[in-house]
Structure 1
Amino acid sequence: ADLRQCEALRERFQKLRAVVAGGDMRHRSEFAGLRALAARIDAGEIDTVLVHDAVRPFASHRLVERLLAASGQTVGTIPGLPVTPGTVRVEDGWIAGYPRNLWAVQTPQVFQATWLLEAHNRAARQGFVGTDTASVVEWAGGDVLVIEGEATNIKITTPDDLVRAKEIAAGLGR
C-alpha cells in the first residue's frame, strides 16, 4: 500500500498512532512494527503486544479479552482450533500417518512485549524466519499457550474464503 494513503487514513482514526512500512514477508513486517515500538517497550511503556493480520476481520472482542486474561500465565498466548478428523500425513502420494493433537492457529496472538522484541532481535541476528509470531517466540525458548479460538475467525485468502466471510458478515448483522 502507498504509505501516504495509509498516513492520510491514520489521521482520521484516533486509535492509530503510526504507519510503519512492512517488509517483503509477514515476519519482516512484524519485526518492522516491533522496531517502531522498541523505545517504548524498552522504557516499560508497553508491556503487552497483540499481533493481528488484516485477513482475519472477524476476531471478536471476546476473543481478545480471553487472550489477554490468559496472557499472564506465559510469554505468549494464541488462539487455535483443533484440526478436524480425517487429516492424514502423506509421503510420495501414500498415507504415512495419522497426526494427533493438531491445531490450526489464528490471530490475534498476544505476547510479553520485551520477550517478543528480544525473540525477533535474536531471530534477525541468526537468520531465523518464523511462520507466525508464536513460532519466533517458541524458537527463542518462550512458552506459548493455545486457547480455543473462534470458528468465525477465518483467514480470507481464497475466493471460497470470501464467500464464507460474506456469510459470517451477514450473520453478524442480525
Structure 2
Amino acid sequence: MVCAIIAAAGYGRRMGGDQSKQLIILNGMPVVARSLRAIATCPQVDQLILVTAPEQIATLETLAAELDLGKPFQVIAGGSERQYSVANALKAVPTDAEIILVHDGARPLVRPEQVGAVVDAARVFRAAGLAAPVKDTIKTVNADGFAVGTPDRNCLWAIHTPQAFAADLLRHAYAQAETDQYLGTDDASLVERVGVFIKLVNGGYENIKITTSEDVCLAEALLARRME
C-alpha cells in the first residue's frame, strides 16, 4: 500500500503578501489542487494525507472534496517547519503502508507517470526521488561572497519531489532526526543521514516549485504549452 503525503503548510513569504502560495490560482486552478490531482491520478497511490496550516484545514478539505480524487484522503495540521509537518503526517499514515511518498504541494506540474516512476524505484531501492541534472555552472562561495570552487557539473543534480521511501526507513530517519535535533531541507537528506542512498529518477525541467512570482509566470507558460 502506498500512502502519499502532500506538504502544503507553507505561506511562501518570498511571494510577497500573506496569501498561501498553495492557493494561488494557476490557469484557473489553485496550485495545491493541481498537485493533489496529479498524485491522486497515479494508479500506484492508494490514499493521500494533505498537511496544511491549521486555519486552512476546512478550506482544503472542501477543495479536495470538490476535486473528486477517487481515493481516501485526510487533511491534518502542519507545523512551523516542513519537516515538522511531514512528521505530523507520518503519525497518520496507516501501519500497513509499505511505501510513503512525500510531495510538495507547491510543485503543481508533476505528472502522474513521474509519480509512478518514483514509487516503482522506491520499491526496488527503498528510497527514490524525482530530480534533474543541473544545467548551470555552480560555484561554492565563502562567507565574504567570493567563489572558491567549481564542482563538476556532471555530478550535480537538483532533487525535487515526489520522493518515496520504504515506510520503515522513512519513520526511522525521522526518529533519528528528532533525536539528533537535526533539521533538513527535504526528506532525502534525513534518509541519507541513516546511511541509505537515494535513487534519482530523471523528471526533466518542468517540475518547478512555486516560490516567487516569476515561478507563477513560468508555470503558466508551461501549462499553456502542454495544452497546445
Counterpart in the other structure of 1:35:
91
1:72-111 maps to which residues of 2 (within 5 A)? 72-91=123-142, 92-100=144-152, 101-111=155-165
Counterpart in the other structure of 2:181:
127
CA distance in 1, matches of 2:63, 2:210: 22
Cα shift at 1:78: 0.6
Identity of aligned residues (%): 33
Q: Which runs of 5+ in 2 are unaligned?
A: 1-52
Cα shift at 1:11: 4.1
| Range with greater deviation from structure 2 (99-108 or 89-98) | 89-98
Cα shift at 1:151: 0.9
CA distance in 1, matches of 2:225, 2:72: 28
SS of the aligned residue for 2:73 comes to coil
Give the one of 94, 107, 121 matched to 1:70.
Answer: 121
SS of the aligned residue for 1:18 comes to strand
Q: Which runs of 5+ in 1 are unaligned?
A: none
Q: Is the 8 A contact 1:87 1:99 kept in 2?
A: yes
Counterpart in the other structure of 2:15:
none
Q: Is the 8 A contact 1:63 1:150 kept in 2?
A: no
CA distance in 2, matches of 1:147, 1:120: 23
Q: Is the 8 A contact 1:119 1:140 kept in 2?
A: yes
SS of the aligned residue for 1:35 comes to helix
Q: 1:121 to 1:93 in 2, by over 3 A?
A: closer
Counterpart in the other structure of 2:194:
140
Displacement over 6 Å in runs of 4+? none
Q: CA RMSD in A?
A: 1.6
